[in-house]
Amino acid sequence: MKTRTLLLATVSMLTFSSGAYAADKTTYESKTSVESDSKGNYNEESKTSKTNKAGSTTHKEKVNVDVHSNGDVDNTAQTETVSDPKGLMNKTSTKITNTQDVKHDGSSKTTHKKVVDGRTVESVTETNK
C-alpha cells in the first residue's frame, strides 16, 4: 500500500511539474520594411516582439526622410517601447519622437519629445540659423 501511494505521489509530481518547463519558452518576432526612391526619400519601419513567462515587450522604430525639390530635408525618427509584465494593470509605454527640418539656406529646427505612459516628460525645440 505504501508503494502504491509513493508511486501515485511521484507520478502526480512529475505531471504537475512538467507544465513549469513548458512555460519557460521565449518567443521572438521581428519585422522590418525599408522603402527608398531616387529623390532621396527614405522610410524604414521595424517591429520586434519578445514574449516569455515574465510577460511581453514590443519595440517599434520608424524613420522617415523626405527630400524636397528645393533642397529642404525633413527627418523624423520615432521609437516606441511597450512592456507588459504578467499581471493586471501594469503595462508601461515609452514613445520618443525626434524631428529635424533642415532648410536649403542652412537653417534647421530640431525637436525632441518623450512621452511615458501618456505623459509628456521631455519636449525640447531648437532653431539654428
Say how far apart CA 86 and CA 126 lie, in whole Å.
40
- Express each pLDDT in 92-113 by its tens digit: 999 999 999 999 898 999 999 9
Helix (H) or strand (E) holding 34: strand 27-36
Mean residue pLDDT of the chain comes to: 87
Phi, psi of 9 (to 5 degrees): -65, -40
**Extents of the domains making up the chain:** 24-128
Question: What is the value of pTM for the model shown?
Answer: 0.75
Residue numbers of the chain with a pLDDT score lower than 70:
1-23
Closest of 77, 115, 110, 117 to residue 95, by C-alpha: 115
- Cell numbers describing residue 32: 522590418
pLDDT at 24: 76
